Amino acid sequence: MNLLHSALAICLVLPPGLMLLAALLPHVARLGMARLWQGFIGLSIAGACVAAVGVALRGLPDAASSTPFSPWLGASVLGGLLATLVQLLGTCIGAFSARYLQGESGQRRYLSALAGVLAAVHVLLLADHWTVLLAAWAAIGIALQHLLCFYPDRPFALLAAFKKRLADRLADALLIAAAVLAWREVGSGSLADLWAHVGQVGASPALQVSAVCVVLAVVLRTALLPAHGWLIQVMEAPTPVSAMLHAGVVNLGGYVLIRFAPLLESAAPARWLLVAFGLATAVVAGLVMLTRISIKVRLAWSTVAQMGFMVLECGLGLYSLAALHLVGHSLYKAHAFLSASSVVQDTRLRELQGEQPPAKSSLLAAPLLSVAMVLLVQAGLGGAAWPWWWSVILALAWAPLLWLPGAGRHSAPMVFSRAAVGLLMVAGLTALAMGAHLLPLGTQDRPDTRSGIVALLGMACLHGLLVAVQMRPRALAAWRRACYAGLYIDEFYTRLALRLWPTHWTPAARNGAHRTAARTVAMDAQP
């Protein structure tokens, strides 16, 4: 192993090692919490710097030929970028937690679990073997349970942790089944060997089933319908935990799908499952999010919708866009949760100023203008970087930026200025997506037109429903109530989970906490 590979190897293993050291410090060092938090932040900054150096080294030509720890750990540009991003977010969340939890008991347990989550995420991003992948993802769930149950006297938090534990264990079983099938077929647990085998002989029926198991495991881990309820109810956990969960942990399902792209390309049933689950989740969560009032709950439903959209991109073979979506969503959600208090103040200010619903004319014209602007920008930049049907889907997703308030307090110049700003935002987002699409992330898109048209029809239905709810709020009052309740999907899942796997073995359940949580879920479903 030459000097470059040795340096790259150190940059790969050092960040998770630093986080493991941070996880042990609260238990072995007799320091005050202020010093412990300072130590965590220092180690986290060092880990982010080392991960960034690893990304730079991985981009060098001499480092692209092989990986230093194959078949156990591997280096990729996308994995290194995500490792750096997660470590930076972990630093910000740690600094926020030090102030947010000041005076709280159990901070040592919290700090240790937070560092453990970051360490396990690093290992997952480096995994190049089934065993490492299984162990790292299971470790993330175990460490995260301590953060979700930081307030053990809150029934909602206990219920969310219980439902997530069930989803994690079922996902673990599916991943083990996928690993066994692939291992027997390939003769090795190395993921690199799996990609080589699929590239040479294609996906056998056993590998097709393995791909389906991986997809179902990602659906459970990424909080897609119908196992999405725990992500909504986990709002009972501290705000920095929500930021870590929404900005880093749930996004890992998208990364796993991108890593398994060679297998998914040879397994059509698995890709259609991704399209079905992703499209259904994006449509339902998009409708529910529009009816929610609580800022944090609306952000949680937004995460569910975005995860559905990202999984849909993977099902359509648009892996580069899924990777960019993953990075952008992580940054946005971390900022949104850590600044939730200012968002609440801004929302109250808009309500006091009498924010009006969109004008009907803008609701009808917005999709046409958005499609025209997207196509115009693409033509001006030398052609589309993705299929035409995805251009229309993006235009529909950005059409609400062109919704304008109705006549009343707003003058004509103000309306025109807002319309111009909306068009500029659509143009800027399109140009940014096309430019970012050219980044060397190590992904290769293989779009499928048939599933793309299905996705286009689904997103058109979602946009039509959103417009109808805005135009006819009274006529669609019953539909709004059903959307507010999440179409009652999670209520069925909660009752089934508590019936099949009762929580009589937990101390909180012996005190009746799980029954209180179940009643709270039913009450929350009512408008």
In this predicted structure, the answer to whether residue 213 has a pLDDT above a threshold of 90 is yes
In this predicted structure, the answer to whether residue 43 has a pLDDT above a threshold of 60 is yes
Which residues are 129's β-sheet partners?
A: 190
Record the tokens describing residue 391, joined without a space. 């251009």
> Is 226:490 a contact under the CB 8 Å cutoff?
yes
pLDDT for 340: 61
Mean pLDDT of 72-99: 83
Record the tokens describing residue 322, joined without a space. 């899924």
Domain locations along the chain: 1-126, 149-347, 358-404+415-428+445-472
In this predicted structure, the answer to whether residue 350 has a pLDDT above a threshold of 70 is no
In this predicted structure, the answer to whether residue 407 has a pLDDT above a threshold of 70 is no
pLDDT for 273: 92
Q: Is the pTM of this model over 0.85?
A: no
Q: Is 180 exposed, middle or buried (0-12, 13-18, 19+ CB in 10 A)?
A: middle
Q: Among 35-49, 215-229, 249-263, 414-428, which stretch is predicted with the lowest mean pLDDT?
A: 414-428
Distance, in Å, from the CA atom of 308 to the CA atom of 224, rounded to the nearest integer, reads 6
Closest CA to 314 of 303, 327, 323: 323
474 versus 93: the higher-pLDDT residue is 93
In this predicted structure, the answer to whether residue 404 has a pLDDT above a threshold of 90 is no
Mean pLDDT of 505-526: 45
Helices 360-380 and 412-436 sit at what angle, rounded to 10 degrees? 40
Distance, in Å, from the CA atom of 230 to the CA atom of 235, rounded to the nearest integer, reads 9
pLDDT for 352: 43
pLDDT band at 431 (very low <50, low <70, confident <90, very high): confident
pLDDT band at 518 (very low <50, low <70, confident <90, very high): very low
In this predicted structure, the answer to whether residue 372 has a pLDDT above a threshold of 90 is no
Q: Each residue of 450-504: pLDDT tens digit?
A: 888 988 888 888 888 878 877 776 766 777 777 777 777 888 888 887 887 776 5
Mean pLDDT of 166-187: 90
Mean pLDDT of 183-207: 86
Q: Each residue of 219-264: pLDDT tens digit?
A: 998 888 888 888 887 777 777 887 888 777 888 888 999 989 888 8
The alpha-helical segments, DSSP class H, found in 354-387 are 360-380
Distance, in Å, from the CA atom of 242 to the CA atom of 224, rounded to the nearest integer, reads 17
In this predicted structure, the answer to whether residue 362 has a pLDDT above a threshold of 70 is yes
Q: What is the CA 96 to chain-centroid distance, rounded?
A: 21
Q: How far is CA 110 from CA 144, 145, 241, in A?
A: 10, 10, 10
Mean pLDDT of 335-357: 57
Distance, in Å, from the CA atom of 527 to the CA atom of 521, rounded to the nearest integer, reads 12
In this predicted structure, the answer to whether residue 96 has a pLDDT above a threshold of 90 is no
Q: Among 203-207, 375-379, 400-404, 470-474, which stretch is predicted with the lowest mean pLDDT?
A: 470-474
Mean pLDDT of 320-337: 80
Task: Please give the radius of gyration of the chain, using alpha carbons only, rounded to the nearest integer.
Answer: 23
Helices 77-100 and 252-259 sit at what angle, rounded to 10 degrees? 170
Mean pLDDT of 175-196: 89
Record the tokens describing residue 229, joined without a space. 């309820």
Average pLDDT score over the chain:
79
pLDDT for 517: 46
Q: Among 45-54, 55-64, 95-104, 398-407, which stretch is predicted with the lowest mean pLDDT?
A: 55-64
Residues 6+ apart with CB under 8 A from 136: 120, 121, 123, 124, 127
Record the tokens describing residue 308, joined without a space. 């559905």
Record the tokens describing residue 270, joined without a space. 């698995």
In this predicted structure, the answer to whether residue 349 has a pLDDT above a threshold of 70 is no
- Give SS3 for 54: helix
Distance, in Å, from the CA atom of 232 to the CA atom of 294, rounded to the nearest integer, reads 11
Q: Each residue of 154-168: pLDDT tens digit?
A: 777 778 788 888 888
472 versus 44: the higher-pLDDT residue is 44
In this predicted structure, the answer to whether residue 513 has a pLDDT above a threshold of 50 is no
pLDDT band at 527 (very low <50, low <70, confident <90, very high): very low
Record the tokens describing residue 501, joined without a space. 């796997």
In this predicted structure, the answer to whether residue 176 has a pLDDT above a threshold of 60 is yes
pLDDT for 154: 75
